[in-house]
């Protein structure tokens, strides 16, 4: 990973604080990388002509904004033809919070259509024949390619953890509603969760803490090894051979570095909640896109039109039942952590698929989005095609710092193995 073009937000901030780097020069690093590679990778849906440094803990830190967040000074399309040329009057709350902390918005990053499954134009920086994942495609690819040290995205199914895994960056899907969704274009409000991308768990924690004032920063000195729960779920047969190997290999590395591992069998109520994701997302999407799917139906992708039409069959009873199933699952989640600090699972079925017509499968993410638990993707190696393999660390609800700390520990354990 040492020849990675990724920029470390924490390292940049420390250099600036020490007077060894100006915020302007820091912003230039990312600009140089995007000048060199944007035409190949298509990270941005909009890039401003000039970047100006702000003041505060994130001064000199460029942040890519997934184009489902409103920005008052840049076009915002939500990945949809309907909104071509639209510029909202107001920044999304998280965009304002980032600016207030001194961050510079480096541009709007490509999203799939309304953060759902119709791909945008972004390619995987590790191999441009492969998908970067979605829906936060540009945010993940841009961090991987060193266009900006940090980016924000959203996850409704697997739209943070999956692209983070496919692009080999750290991705953080926080506890549900830890960060405000005001100014976000919703697809499914019970699921849409705002999160971050950066070069490492410590970098993500630094940016998330700086813009929110929350105690999220990773303790870099701590050597305390977490106990990892190896989650045995009903969909484990869907992981690739590479992914199954990676899980075993990483568990061994973790043990070698002093961690304990235990097997965790999914409680029935948690496993039952898997089936609740689809009706909740579908029922809400029909309402969230009620205007677009009536007045501007012709400007939706056929894929999304068909999805909305199907989902209109979901009844209020189906939806209410699914919400109850999800609530029972959430309550049962406490039991997951009886014998471990965090869970360790695949971030996706495998590495990025060789296609630009799909962003991959979110089956390993949907349940955890619905359960609202904090998830962090850790890049644990690469496959034969040079594509990153990602595992996710999952902590109890509200224990976001614990998830980030454990992900940091795992990153260190893997890095020392590679030395």
Residues engaged in binding its own copies (CB under 8 A): 72, 82-83, 86, 89-93, 95-97, 100, 177, 180-183, 186, 189-190, 212-215, 284, 287-288, 290-292, 294-295, 315-316, 320, 398
135 among known catalytic residues: yes
Q: How far is the CB of 171 from its own copies (least distance, A)?
A: 22
Among 34, 37, 45, 66, which one carries the catalytic annotation? 66
Q: How far is the CB of 293 from its own copies (least distance, A)?
A: 9
126 by Cβ neighbours in 10 Å (0-12 / 13-18 / 19+) ranks as: buried
Minimum gap (Å) between residue 6 Cβ and its own copies: 29
Ramachandran bin of 409, using left for φ above 0, alpha for ψ from -120 to 50, beta for the remaining angles: alpha
Residue with Cβ nearer its own copies (5 or 180): 180
Catalytic residue among 8, 59, 106, 135: 135
Identity of the residue, 12 or 194, whose beta carbon is nearer to its own copies in the bound complex: 194
| Least gap, CB of 91 to its own copies (angstroms) | 4
Strands 260-265 and 227-232: parallel
Instruction: Determine the Cα–Cα distance for residues 122 and 43; give it in Å rounded to an integer.
Output: 5
Between CA 382 and CA 390 the distance in angstroms is 9
Question: What one-character-per-residue DSSP string does 351-418 give?
Answer: S--S-SS-----TTTHHHHHHT--EEEEEEEE-TTS-EEEEEEE--TT-HHHHHHHHHHHHHHHHHHH
**Least separation in angstroms between CB 316 and its own copies:** 5
Distance CA 10, CA 83 (A): 35
Identify the active-site residue in 45, 159, 200, 301. 159
Q: How far is CA 311 from the centre of its chain?
A: 25
Specify the residue, 137 or 190, whose C-beta has the smaller distance to its own copies: 190
**Which residue in this structure is represented by tokens 């014998």?**
339
| Active-site residue, 39 included | no
First to last CA, the chain: 10
| DSSP-derived 3-state class of residue 194 | strand
Let me know if 2 is a catalytic residue: no
User: What is the chain's length?
Assistant: 419
According to DSSP, residue 245 is labeled H
**335, 371 in Cβ contact below 8 A?**
no
Residue pair 51/31 in contact (Cβ under 8 Å)? The answer is yes
Nearer to its own copies, 104 or 200 (CB): 104
* Between 187 and 231, CB nearer to its own copies: 187
* Closest separation in Å from C-beta 133 to its own copies: 25
Q: Which is nearer to its own copies, 42 or 104 (CB)?
A: 104
Q: Toward its own copies, which CB reaches closer, 129 or 182?
A: 182
Nearer to its own copies, 252 or 331 (CB): 331
Containing 227, the helix (H) or strand (E) segment is: strand 227-232
Report the SS3 class of residue 342. strand
CA-atom Rg of the chain in angstroms: 20
Sequence-distant (6+) residues with CB within 8 A of 26 are 12, 15, 16, 53, 60, 61, 62
CB contact set of 291 (below 8 Å; sequence gap of 6+): none
- Joined together, the tokens standing for residue 112 give 């799939």
**Distance of closest approach, residue 336 Cβ to its own copies, in angstroms:** 19
The CB-of-237 to its own copies minimum distance in angstroms stands at 35
DSSP, residue by residue, 53-87: --SSTTTT-EEEEETTB--TTS---TT-GGGTT--
Q: Catalytic residues, which ones?
A: 66, 135, 159
């Amino acid at each position: 990973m040492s020849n990675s073009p990724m920029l470390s937000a924490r390292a940049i901030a420390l250099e600036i604080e020490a007077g060894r780097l100006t915020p302007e020069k820091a912003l230039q690093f990312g600009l140089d990388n995007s000048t060199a590679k944007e035409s190949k990778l298509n990270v941005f849906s909009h890039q401003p002509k000039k970047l100006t440094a702000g003041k505060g803990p994130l001064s000199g830190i460029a942040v890519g904004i997934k184009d489902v967040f409103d920005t008052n000074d840049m076009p915002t399309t939500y990945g949809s033809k309907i909104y071509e040329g639209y510029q909202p009057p107001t920044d999304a709350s998280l965009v304002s919070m980032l600016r207030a902390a001194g961050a510079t918005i480096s541009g709007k990053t490509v999203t799939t259509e309304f953060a759902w499954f119709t791909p945008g134009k972004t390619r995987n920086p590790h191999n441009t024949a492969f998908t970067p994942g979605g829906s936060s495609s540009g945010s993940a690819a841009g961090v991987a390619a060193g266009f900006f040290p940090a980016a924000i995205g959203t996850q409704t199914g697997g739209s943070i953890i999956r692209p983070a895994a496919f692009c080999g960056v750290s991705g953080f899907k926080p506890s549900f509603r830890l960060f405000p969704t005001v100014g976000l274009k919703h697809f499914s409000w019970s699921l849409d969760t705002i999160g971050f991308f950066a070069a490492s768990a410590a970098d993500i924690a630094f940016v998330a803490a700086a813009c929110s004032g929350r105690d999220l920063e990773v303790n870099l000195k701590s050597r305390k090894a977490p106990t990892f729960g190896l989650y045995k779920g009903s969909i484990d047969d869907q992981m690739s051979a590479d992914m199954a190997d990676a899980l075993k290999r990483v568990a061994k590395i973790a043990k070698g570095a002093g961690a304990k591992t235990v097997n965790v069998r999914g409680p029935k109520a948690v496993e039952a909640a898997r089936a609740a994701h689809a009706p909740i997302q579908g029922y809400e999407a029909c309402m969230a896109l009620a205007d677009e799917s009536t007045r501007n139906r012709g400007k939706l992708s056929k894929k999304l039109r068909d999805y909305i039409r199907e989902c209109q069959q979901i009844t209020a009873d189906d939806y209410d039942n699914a919400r109850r199933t999800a609530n029972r699952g959430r309550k049962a989640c406490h039991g997951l952590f009886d014998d471990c600090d965090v869970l360790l699972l695949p971030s996706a079925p495998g590495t990025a698929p060789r296609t630009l017509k799909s962003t991959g499968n979110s089956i390993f993410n949907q349940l955890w989005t619905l359960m609202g638990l904090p998830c962090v993707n850790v890049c644990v190696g690469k496959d034969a095609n040079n594509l990153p393999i990602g595992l996710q660390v999952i902590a109890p609800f509200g224990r976001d710092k614990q998830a980030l700390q454990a992900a940091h520990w795992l990153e260190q354990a893997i890095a020392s193995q590679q030395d």
